[in-house]
Amino acid sequence: MDRILIIDDEAAICSSLAFALEDTYAVSTAVDAASGIRMASDDGFDLVLLDLRIGADDGIEVLSALRRLPDPPVVIMMSAYGTIESSVEAMRRGAFGYLQKPLRMDELAAQVVHALEFGRLNRRVVHLNHELEARYGYGGILGKSAAMRRVFELVERLKDVDTTVVVRGESGTGKELISRALHYSGKRKAEPFVEINCGAIPESLLEGELFGYRRGAFTGAVDARQGKFAFAGSGTLLLDEIGDMPLPLQVKLLQVLQQKEVTPLGANQPVKVNARVVAATNADLASLVESGGFRRDLFFRLKVVEIFVPPLRDRREDIPLLANYFIASCSKDLGKEVHGLSGEAARRLLEYDYPGNVRELANVIEHGVLMADGPTIGLRDLPPGFGGSRSVCAEPADADIAAFLGGKRLAQVEAIAIKAALERNGGRRRDTAESLGISERGLRNKISEYGLNQVR
């Protein structure tokens, strides 16, 4: 029988709710926050019905305490005087739902059923993920190859130190996952994990996004805004695609890392910051330093330790493990009963070089699950032309390319290639940039230069 704990400072409400639910569930009650937290910690409950205000105690803080338990219950908040802000804050802190008093019993009963089902599914997923990760993973990242085990060992060694880390690897290898593992497996896991893509934000806006700004600091700054450094608090700030950061901002970033403070645009006084910085890149920063595209002093300040995430083609023994994981995940999401690969399809997966790395394998498997008519993915279910060592799509012959491009200027050829890539990727600029091997900032400049803004 599912166990429900009611935490409300009004004994009459506890009694009425217990009476309404006790025929179906094992119900306990607490009329103060400390008793409720202690009961949840000692006895374990599947669901907690929690009042927003419990005497002098804030229910949101009680919610946070419940969420920190080793096996946290699902929580539904209740309030007689709640606001939109309080409901949003409750959901942000991890509440499953929010009910307004006086409670409607039919609405309560429906919420309880859905919350308990959510809890069961969540525990099942957590259990399966723990089993899989215990054998072959770390922080949600899968891999049994020697190369990935070395990555896991580095993450374990670095998770609780304040050292700046550079995570380097090709697009699609899982650099963001490694960065998240550094955060969520270590002492900062209760603090924010904040990510900003240095190549996806225009240079004119990036400084304000990083450091914040005061009202009136520039045209359009109608309100003050907290920067990502300050917002991250004592958590982790991931500077994704750090190699695309403009040189003038690199100077300011170096100052922040050295002085542990930022000065928002339009402000006179600096603000202390305490976030750990992780920088991710698919570029060779050392080569950028030599070519003048990256500051040497910032390079050495950032690269205290580097974690290199190997491309999938260099750890082929991980392909079956990842493929099976993606098959299970996609089958669940798509509501299909697909359980594996045919022998021929499995061999083709192992032979392929994956220029898009793990992300490309995930897309290939999703395509296969969608196309499969039975319980296994066959060769015909894989994307057209899949299995070569160069590209998922069959490439035209050199003679055909020459005939098509004959007489065209280099800029025209580049515009044609970018337009085709945009159309192939449905207008998604990040995917387009990765397929072309350029940064999002570079792609955005080319789109503007060639007038391709309307391509979808």
Output phi, psi for 353, to 5 deg. -95, -15
CATH 1.10.10 positions along the chain are: 398-450
Mean of pLDDT values over 375-386: 84
Pick the CATH number of 3-127 from 3.40.50.1100, 3.90.550.10, 1.20.1340.10, 3.40.50.2300: 3.40.50.2300
Q: Which residues are 137's β-sheet partners? A: 142
Distance between CA atoms of residues 278 and 166, nearest Å: 6
Backbone angles phi, psi at 185, to 5 degrees: -95, -5
DSSP state of 381: G
What percent of the chain shows pLDDT beyond 90? 46
The residues of the chain that CATH labels 3.40.50.300 are 162-310
- Residue 372 predicted with pLDDT over 60: yes
Asked whether residue 400 carries a pLDDT value surpassing 80, the answer given is no
Compute the half-sphere exposure of residue 47: CA atoms within 13 Å on the CB side of its CA: 26
Residue 130: predicted pLDDT = 53
Average pLDDT over residues 68-91: 81
Q: Residue 40 has what pLDDT?
A: 93
- Among 178-187, 222-231, 239-248, 277-286, the least confident range: 222-231
Read off the pLDDT of residues 337-370 as tens digits, 9 standing for 90 and up: 888 888 888 988 998 889 899 999 999 999 999 9
**Measured in whole angstroms, how far is the alpha carbon of residue 85 from the centre of its chain?**
25
Please, which pLDDT band fits residue 392 given cuts at 50, 70 and 90?
A: very low
pLDDT of residue 319: 92
Q: Please tell me the number of Cα atoms within 13 Å of 27 on its side-chain side.
A: 17
Please check the confidence at residue 403 and state whether its pLDDT lies above 60.
no
Q: Is 233 exposed, middle or buried (0-12, 13-18, 19+ CB in 10 A)?
A: middle
Can you give the pLDDT at residue 77?
92
Sign of torsion over alpha carbons 169, 331, 117, 88: positive
Note whether 87 and 96 are within 8 A (CB): no
Top-level class of domain 162-310: alpha beta
Higher pLDDT, 82 or 391: 82
| More confident: 122 or 216 | 216
CATH code of the region 313-381: 1.10.8.60
What amino acid occupies position 10? E
Confidence of residue 336 (pLDDT cuts 50, 70, 90): confident
| Token pair of 396 as six digits | 């035209």
Residue 258 zone, left/alpha/beta (φ > 0; ψ -120 to 50; rest): alpha
Domain with CATH 3.40.50.2300 in the chain: 3-127
pLDDT given at position 37: 94
Share the mean pLDDT of the chain: 85
CATH topology of domain 398-450: Arc Repressor Mutant, subunit A (1.10.10)
DSSP type of residue 114: H
Better-predicted residue by pLDDT, 115 or 127: 115
Span 93-98, average pLDDT: 84
pLDDT (0 to 100) of residue 337: 81
User: Per-residue confidence at 395, pLDDT binned at 50, 70, 90?
Assistant: very low
What's the CA gap between 21 and 18, in Å, rounded? 5
**Cut 0.85: pTM above it:** no
Side-chain-side CA neighbours of 399 within 13 Å: the count stands at 0
Q: In this model, does residue 406 exceed pLDDT 80?
A: no
Mean pLDDT of 90-115: 87
Could you tell me the pLDDT band of residue 430, with boundaries at 50, 70 and 90? confident
Whole-number Å distance between alpha carbons of 290 and 106: 68
Backbone φ, ψ for residue 27 (5° rounding): -110, 135
**Predicted pLDDT at 394:** 42
pLDDT of residue 439: 78
Q: How far apart are CA 5 and CA 49, in angstroms?
A: 6
Encode pLDDT of 167-189 as tens digits. 999 999 999 999 999 999 899 98
Do 86 and 60 touch, CB atoms closer than 8 A? yes
Which residues, in sequence order, are CB contacts of 9 under 8 Å at separation 6+?
31, 32, 51, 53, 54, 55
Q: Is residue 376 a contact partner of residue 339, using CB atoms and an 8 Å limit?
A: yes
Q: Which of 428, 451, 411, 435 has its CA nearest to residue 200?
A: 428
Q: Is the peptide bond before 355 cis (omega within 30 degrees of 0)?
A: no
Provide CATH 1.10.8.60 ranges for the chain.
Answer: 313-381
What the block records as the tokens of 348 is 């083709």
pLDDT at position 410 = 62
pLDDT over 80 at 237, yes or no = yes
